Chain A
């Protein structure tokens, strides 16, 4: 109580930046009283977001997503594996999330961020459980060969709502993915067909799969909200996340079905109505993100 009393006296004469650093919670609460946030957003508005497809030339599918300053680069590389005996006609998707030291002052080389494996697991759970990708489409020859899609998401700039940006970039990378055309050579190994050698070579190495795109059964989008007292703040920045610690992340598919909902503890115990408000905000956000992604895809097709 001593600190808040002291801040009361100091408020009048202190500079805004100093007040923001010394009493971050009071700083944010003063904004919340006026229904505004330090970056001039209303409580329920998400930051401006962009998606760019094909950012990495050396990958089979890639995308860069930005939500405010938070930047994610996702890339998919396709490799060949032998499918397991339980599911001989299915491929596999391996998802990983990295936070290299460039992205935040709190990550140092050799000391990886604690949240990175958590987000990797959430991403992987959301994508595999929703059935977004039909693993049968990744099959090449039953029991012999199938695709393993390695999706790696790199956080280039961390400024809050990391999961939302990571999921957006992952989904965009899958919609950009081009599975290369392949054939099987004499040794039984899978080799890629380059476009030039189409004519004479086809006879001995039959193409087993043409170059194609993956069909996505549904598309996932998410929104992270902060619960603080009676307020709900959509799409928090890193500063907001560090001050107010109760987060709710909702993942919906394109037809607004609930895929997953995370509320990993936190000091605020949410009523069902608060959770429903979060879902309603996400439903609105899905429409925005869908539009952004569609624009990115149609931009790509024009080129």
Chain B
């Protein structure tokens, strides 16, 4: 064991000399680190067909959060799978080693994989591809906060690009509760100081919620306020995603 430890030197990433002044989030009138309004989302960039090898794919950037999702299939299910009348959905989310400020292992994110699966399965018309599997694979290139909602929205864009039948696009937005304030689309720094968070995944044109997660300390009126905020942002995001898809189609027709 000692020999092994010598050949693989342990490393650490150097920390900053002085701790950054913790931003005072609890004040009534603080400013968000990136200067946004409380109810303002980060500038987003969306593009479909980012990966040529996949049946459909999308690249989405929300501020520093950058995600690629590829969709493969419908293709043959694993041999061990039993016969199924409806299609199967298989989701996987992983991170690059350089996604986080401290170098990570780049391993699969099991929790996000299952959350992504649950967020999408209600929106996909699984009956349209019996006996087969659709694979949705996400890679987080850089995490800058609100990773899961960005992954989910990006995945639904990729599914649409792959021509998988869905009842509607799936959009996701999260809100953090910091003291008295609700901030939408939080960055990593805000997430690390939050008292609670709420994420809604919905089908914007049908006004249906596929997933809602709530963590931390909340009061009932705050929950209502946060849900209103999220649903409003989701429907706006839905429009942006729709126009992104339309644009891609009109370009390919030319």
- CB within 8 Å of B: which residues of A? 56-59, 62, 69, 71, 73, 75, 77-84, 92, 96, 98, 100-105, 108-110, 148, 150, 152, 154, 156-159, 180, 182-183, 185, 189-194, 197, 201, 205, 238
Which of B12-20, B24-32, B114-122, B240-248 lies at the interface?
Answer: B12-20
Minimal beta-carbon separation of A197 from chain B (angstroms): 6
Complex contact B98–A105 (CB within 8 A): no
Which of B131-139, B172-180, B191-199, B205-213 lies at the interface?
Answer: B131-139
Given contacts A56-B142, A152-B96, A156-B68, contact A192 B15 (CB under 8 A): yes
Complex contact B106–A98 (CB within 8 A): yes
Residue in A56, A189, A194 whose CB lies within 8 Å of B18: A194
Minimal beta-carbon separation of B134 from chain A (angstroms): 12
- CB within 8 Å of A: which residues of B? 6, 9-18, 50-54, 57, 64, 68-70, 72, 75, 92, 94, 96-101, 103, 106, 108, 135, 137-139, 141-142
Residue in A69, A100, A201 whose CB lies within 8 Å of B94: A100
Minimal beta-carbon separation of B60 from chain A (angstroms): 13
> Once bound together, how far apart are the Cα atoms of A228 and B100, in whole Å?
45
Minimal beta-carbon separation of B187 from chain A (angstroms): 12
Minimal beta-carbon separation of A101 from chain B (angstroms): 4
Complex contact B92–A81 (CB within 8 A): no
Residue in B13, B17, B92 whose CB lies within 8 Å of A197: B17
Complex contact A81–B9 (CB within 8 A): yes
Complex contact A81–B108 (CB within 8 A): no
Complex contact B53–A158 (CB within 8 A): yes
> Once bound together, how far apart are the Cα atoms of A158 and B51, in whole Å?
9
Complex contact A194–B137 (CB within 8 A): no
> Once bound together, how far apart are the Cα atoms of A154 and B11, in whole Å?
22
Given contacts A101-B70, A102-B70, A105-B72, contact A59 B98 (CB under 8 A): yes
Instruction: Report A-chain residues with C-beta under 8 Å of the C-beta of B137.
Output: 100-102, 109
Complex contact B10–A197 (CB within 8 A): no
Q: Which of B75, B94, B142 has the most CB of A within 10 A?
A: B142
Complex contact B53–A69 (CB within 8 A): yes
Tell me the nearest residue of chain A to B138, going by C-beta: A102
Complex contact B103–A84 (CB within 8 A): no
Complex contact B108–A109 (CB within 8 A): yes
Complex contact B14–A159 (CB within 8 A): no
Closest 5 CB pairs of A and B: A79-B11, A102-B70, A69-B52, A75-B98, A101-B137
Given contacts A57-B142, A80-B11, A148-B9, contact A157 B18 (CB under 8 A): no
Given contacts A58-B100, A81-B10, contact A183 B17 (CB under 8 A): yes
Residue in A103, A152, A185 whose CB lies within 8 Å of B97: A152
> Once bound together, how far apart are the Cα atoms of A148 and B11, in whole Å?
7
Complex contact A192–B17 (CB within 8 A): yes
Minimal beta-carbon separation of B155 from chain A (angstroms): 11
Instruction: Report A-chain residues with C-beta under 8 Å of the C-beta of B97.
Output: 77, 96, 98, 150, 152
Given contacts A58-B98, A105-B54, A157-B53, contact A100 B139 (CB under 8 A): yes
8 contacting pairs across A/B (C-beta < 8 A): A77-B98, A100-B94, A102-B69, A102-B137, A105-B53, A157-B51, A158-B53, A192-B14
